[in-house]
Amino acid sequence: MAYNTENITPQSSKPPHGFLQQLLTKGQVFPFTKANDTIALSLARETMPSSIKKTEGNGKPSFWTEESLDSESLSGWSQLYFLMVGLAKILLILFLPLSYLVFLYPLLFGYASWDKRWDDWLMVSYGLTLYFTLPCLLIWGHYKLVCKGYYFLAPFLKSKRVYSLNRQTGMVTLYKRGNKVRFTHPFIEFDCVLMSAPSPQGHLNYNLMLVHRYQPYSVGVPISNLIGTNERVVEYQRLWNMIQRYMDVSQPMPDLLVLEEARAKDPVTVAHDQQTGRDPRYWRDMSDETYKKTLAEIAEKQKTSPATGPKINIFADS
């Protein structure tokens, strides 16, 4: 059943049970609220209108649509592959040209005979080309082909599903290895908890999680991966506000660039946009510079506005 703040089934308040679950709930618990228009700017800044225009209409679904917010991460093989691509690019651009030049110096100014210098340079160049340049060119060429859409060349580049928040069904799903479901429960059954821990440099790192209230799971849903671990506390409150707004079918979806194309497919959002006269391409038709300036203006306004809406009581009176 979809999450609807206008029709909430009262929940029972139950203390956490199990040592690991108690640890998960030791942080700051953010209450349920009637979400307002506040957005997490750290998330909004990650996508520019120019990048949306490049992928618009290509048929590839976004990670965030009118149906669900789907979080994925790279597989171990994918991470290794992109590390190799990065190293190959550095070698091709910087170190290999420099190496050829370094070994060219003895050819031009060495003290041995010209034939000896030429043979030595050919041998060194052959080794560099065979064992470094060609492999790097193959890796880089493979990467460019994959970028052009030849995905069958890289079957190992499979992402791992992390979690899914479904607006239409109101369900929250966490996945485990092999993209298998670890658990799935209604959104209202989760508590939003902000955990904090000091980094080696002495700064606080944060982790915002949805922790199931009634089952002794040892893991939560890591929704802070949307904005990272080094934001201010108020930014995590705004993220929680946006998540609630998205899951609440009595309200329009958050007004974000990444969700703008999906707004026309959600009935509640469509009705809201028609009533307010919102331009369907308000964000997408901006230049990147205008977009940044608009977000800066929103940041100034949000300094004096509450990070979340008014608190609502989802629990039955004891």
pLDDT tens for 72-120 read 887 667 778 888 888 888 888 888 888 877 776 665 555 555 566 666 6
Full strand arrangement of the beta sheet holding 180-186: 68-74, 159-166, 171-176, 180-186
Predicted confidence at residue 73, as pLDDT, reads 81
Spans of the chain below 50 pLDDT: none
Verify that 180 and 227 share a domain, yes or no: yes
**Structural domain total, the chain:** 2
Predicted confidence at residue 197, as pLDDT, reads 81
Which phi and psi (to 5°) does residue 37 adopt? -85, 0
Give the pTM.
Answer: 0.79
Predicted confidence at residue 196, as pLDDT, reads 87
Predicted confidence at residue 62, as pLDDT, reads 81
Verify that 135 and 184 share a domain, yes or no: no
* Residue 9: inside a domain: no
Q: Residues 29, 314: contact at Cβ < 8 Å?
A: no
Residue 264: which domain range?
19-74+161-302
Verify that 34 and 95 share a domain, yes or no: no
Predicted confidence at residue 106, as pLDDT, reads 62
Verify that 39 and 165 share a domain, yes or no: yes
3-state helix, strand, coil in the chain (%, to 5): 45, 20, 35
Tokens for 121, please give them. Answer: 């340079």
Reduce the DSSP state of residue 199 to 3 states and report it: coil
Verify that 89 and 217 share a domain, yes or no: no
Verify that 107 and 203 share a domain, yes or no: no
CA distance 75 to 80: 9
Predicted confidence at residue 77, as pLDDT, reads 72
Predicted confidence at residue 133, as pLDDT, reads 87
Last residue of a domain, one of 100, 121, 153: 153
Verify that 197 and 274 share a domain, yes or no: yes
Verify that 130 and 276 share a domain, yes or no: no
Verify that 118 and 209 share a domain, yes or no: no
CA distance 134 to 127: 10
